[in-house]
């Protein structure tokens, strides 16, 4: 298996799942049927730092909710695909839209619906509470769980591998 830092060095786009990755996987429903999600602020800052370093952000989610659209806009996510039953088809469209190759991409997921994309990308990442099958197809399994810093961990890993972490954090240390 290739060194994770070597794979992360080539990442030009980070593609994320939502439920179980950007959230802890819980789905909250109000009495009126509105869906609510809790997002981690540290994950959000990690995504912002990564985007500011030149890495494109994309989301492919099986569910379709307004709160994900709002969060994606706030974080500058360039490509948002929601309500997706076949993530491989959405990923193919994303590649066509961006002109990137699978090797240019990292993907972080938590369940079997993510495997068709994870098996294509240059850097496949799973969260630690993903099923064993999903973890077995990952180049890297985060130490932090979904919605609890897994995305921040991955963003910092990519920034470190690309030699950009110190510059990304410099303004906070001045």
Give the CATH number of the domain where residue 39 resides: 3.40.50.1000
Q: Indicate the annotated binding residues.
A: 17, 19, 110
Using the predicted structure, report yes or no on whether residue 2 has a pLDDT greater than 70.
Answer: no
What pLDDT is stored for residue 127 in this prediction?
98
Question: 56 is in which domain, residue-wise?
Answer: 4-103+135-169
Q: Name the pairing type of β-strands 28-29 and 35-36.
A: antiparallel
Q: Domain tally for the chain?
A: 1
Q: Indicate the annotated binding residues for substrate.
A: 19
Rounded mean pLDDT of 15-27? Answer: 96
18 CB-contact burial (10 Å; exposed 0-12 / middle 13-18 / buried 19+): buried
Look at residue 117 and tell me if it is in a domain: no
Look at residue 54 and tell me if it is in a domain: yes
Q: With CA atoms as reference, report the closest residue to 17 among 51, 43, 36.
A: 43
DSSP secondary structure string, 67-115? HHHHHHHHHT-SEEE-S-S-HHHHHHHHHHHHT--GGGEEEEE-SGGGH
Look at residue 130 and tell me if it is in a domain: no
Q: Indicate the annotated binding residues for Mg(2+).
A: 17, 110
Structure token digits, residue 51: 């985007």
The beta-strand segments (E) located in the chain are 13-16, 28-29, 35-36, 56-60, 79-81, 105-109, 123-126, 140-141
Model pLDDT for residues 59-118, shown as the tens digit of each residue: 999 999 999 999 999 999 999 999 999 999 999 999 999 999 999 999 999 999 999 999
Neighbours of 133 (CB within 10 A): 11
1 confidence band (pLDDT: 50, 70, 90): very low
Structure token digits, residue 58: 């994309």
pTM over 0.75, yes/no: yes
């Amino acid at each position: 298996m290739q060194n994770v830092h070597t794979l992360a060095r080539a990442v030009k786009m980070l593609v994320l799942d939502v439920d179980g990755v950007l959230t802890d996987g819980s789905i909250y429903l109000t009495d009126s049927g509105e869906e609510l999600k809790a997002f981690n602020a540290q994950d959000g800052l990690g995504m912002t730092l990564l985007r500011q370093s030149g890495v494109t952000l994309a989301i492919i989610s099986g569910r379709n909710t307004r709160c994900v659209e709002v969060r994606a806009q706030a974080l500058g996510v360039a490509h948002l695909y929601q309500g997706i039953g076949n993530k491989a088809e959405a990923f193919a469209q994303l590649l066509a839209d961006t002109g990137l190759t699978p090797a240019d991409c990292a993907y972080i997921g938590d369940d079997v619906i993510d495997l068709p994309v994870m098996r294509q990308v240059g850097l496949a990442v799973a969260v630690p509470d993903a099923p064993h099958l999903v973890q077995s197809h990952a180049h890297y399994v985060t130490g932090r769980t979904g919605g609890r810093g897994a995305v921040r961990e991955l963003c910092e890993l990519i920034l470190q591998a690309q030699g950009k972490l110190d510059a990304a954090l410099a303004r906070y240390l001045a």
